[in-house]
Amino acid sequence: MARTRGGSSYRGSRSFQLRDEDPENLENEEGTGGGSDDDQEPKKTRGPTYMRHIWGRHGTDKRIKVKFNTLGEPVGTNRSKFNEFLGALARIGKYAPIDIDSWRKVPKSLKNDMIDVVKEKFDLPIGIEERVKQSVGKKWRNWKHALKKTYFNPNESIESQVLKRPKRVLPQQWRNILTKWLSEEAKSISATNKEHRKKKKMNHSTGKKPFAQVRVEKEKEVGHSLSRADMFTICYTNSNGVPSSFEVGEKMEEMESLKNQLPEGEEDNVGRNDVYAKVMGEERSGRVRTYGLGVTQSDLWGDIPSRSTCFRLVMEQSAAMSKMERRIQQLESIQQGRSQGQISPSSQRHTSQSSNAISRPIKVGDKVTIRSMVDSSKICAVGVVRNLDPTAEVGDIPLGSHWCEIHVNVPVENDEELMRPYHNFLKIGDAIGVAVAWPINLVILEEN
């Protein structure tokens, strides 16, 4: 007889679909969505996630603080904003080219460039770089999958599909990836993967919220740590406690039975032989189910932590030592300056370096070019700086720090979307002769 939860039987219940944890639904990309009848109005969609308000930040004084747990997983209030920015970054071809076969083959220089961009916008703990790269890599793979699912037709020619290029994909990269997808080898791999995907019967029902955040919130609510069996029950049932599929319900019954057989007073502690492992089988190398991306068996129950965890710990120690050494040098320089009655050499070098780094700032009245957020080498328009005052308003919204008001004189990329659209001004082509708000770091002084 079927077991019930919350008064409802899970046999025959609707299976919850696995949602892409990447921040952007590609069905909404380019304004496309599900099909509709001719007599119905097209469904209005949210559109792609560009994270313009994050790209507009510049410098280190206003970086967004992100909290990570002891396993290197982002948690807390800024977690979603951080993950969505990583997703937007993974979609920019100059940083993460889609025509590269695997994330391992993406050049280290590009990965380091992405880390630099993330650090410019977010205040991250020491040594978290490897986990950030892993997260961007997963979102990059999701992005390629979504592009292929939405835009690729194996029965259509390359030349025809080149004309349907998504605007966020660089032209040459789109042609290259189409060529690879149309190869016989790629078609064979795709067919195999589709067959494997059909066999998947258990999908979590947490949506975009990662397991790490679910664990934090639930442990705070119940007041004790959660076993993997507990997490499975929470993450694979709906709000009424109904399992997402018949198979999930069977596994829950098996876990509950094993938990009832534990000796009195014994806890189902997380480990390689816990209740979850006895029902679901051993873990594969490099991961632990019901935990977030990058958490390995070594991190939880091994004698030696994982490579990324070792890197984080080493970087934390190195940073602490460097900070201590700098403090000692400062004290020695101060002492030396007092004894000699002059500024220490280290202070002179710092002053010289700071002086050399100063360049001519943009001023009101300057002729400038504004660049694309997706590709900073692409000029979107030519205009004149009208205001740099953070309190000045464009479209009834204050500019804020690190933004400026530009009067658009000559549009170059008419279809480029405005960073801050207002009224009927949505794209560069709509804003000829009017003011737009643009991040200062994407405004380039036009030398006469």
Q: Are residues 72 and 164 in the same domain?
A: yes
Structural tokens at position 21: 């944890």
Q: Tell me if 71 is assigned to some domain.
A: yes
Nearest to 294 by CA among 231, 233, 211: 211
Q: What's the pLDDT score for residue 49?
A: 67
Structural tokens at position 225: 């740590």
Q: Are residues 231 and 107 in the same domain?
A: no
Q: Are residues 92 and 190 in the same domain?
A: yes
Torsion (CA) 202, 205, 206, 210 in degrees, nearest 10: 10
Nearest to 87 by CA among 218, 201, 208, 249: 208
Neighbouring-strand partners of residue 393: 398
Q: What's the pLDDT score for residue 42?
A: 46
Q: Are residues 181 and 226 in the same domain?
A: no
Q: For the chain (length 448 residues), average pLDDT per consecutive 10?
A: 39 35 37 39 56 69 82 84 91 92 93 91 85 92 93 92 91 94 90 85 80 85 88 87 86 90 86 88 82 78 58 58 67 62 43 42 88 82 90 86 88 86 86 88 77
Q: pTM for this structure?
A: 0.60
Tokens 């020695």, residue located = 332
Cα–Cα distances (Å) from 141 to 17, 18, 146, 162, 326, in that order, read 19, 16, 9, 21, 41
Q: Are residues 100 and 183 in the same domain?
A: yes
Q: What's the pLDDT score for residue 149?
A: 92
Q: What's the pLDDT score for residue 55?
A: 76
Neighbouring-strand partners of residue 64: 122
Domain boundary (145, 163, 198) is at 198
Q: Are residues 278 and 380 in the same domain?
A: no
As a whole number of angstroms, the distance between CA 87 and CA 23 comes to 6
Half-sphere exposure of 251 (CA within 13 A, CB side): 26
377 phi, psi to nearest 5 deg: -85, -10
Q: What's the pLDDT score for residue 1?
A: 39
Q: Tell me if 317 is assigned to some domain.
A: no
Count of structural domains within the chain = 3
Q: Domain residues for 387?
A: 367-445
Nearest to 49 by CA among 73, 27, 19: 27
Name, in order, each residue with C-beta under 8 angstroms of 295's C-beta and a sequence gap of 6 or more.
Answer: 71, 72, 73, 287, 288, 306
Q: Are residues 231 and 141 in the same domain?
A: no
Number of CB atoms found within 10 A of residue 238's CB = 16
Q: Are residues 184 and 294 in the same domain?
A: no
Q: What's the pLDDT score for residue 317?
A: 58
Q: Are residues 244 and 144 in the same domain?
A: no
H-type alpha helices, 281-386 = 297-301, 307-340, 345-357
Q: Tell me if 53 is assigned to some domain.
A: yes
Q: Are residues 51 and 194 in the same domain?
A: yes
Domain boundary (177, 198, 219) is at 198
Buried/exposed 306-331: b ≥16 CB within 10 Å, e otherwise: bebbebbeebeeeeeeeeeeeeeeee
320 phi, psi to nearest 5 deg: -65, -40
Q: Are residues 176 and 50 in the same domain?
A: yes
Q: What's the pLDDT score for residue 165?
A: 92
Q: Tell me if 93 is assigned to some domain.
A: yes
Q: Tell me if 282 is assigned to some domain.
A: yes
Q: Are residues 218 and 172 in the same domain?
A: no
Q: Tell me if 122 is assigned to some domain.
A: yes
Q: Tell me if 338 is assigned to some domain.
A: no
Q: What's the pLDDT score for residue 23?
A: 36
Q: Tell me if 69 is assigned to some domain.
A: yes
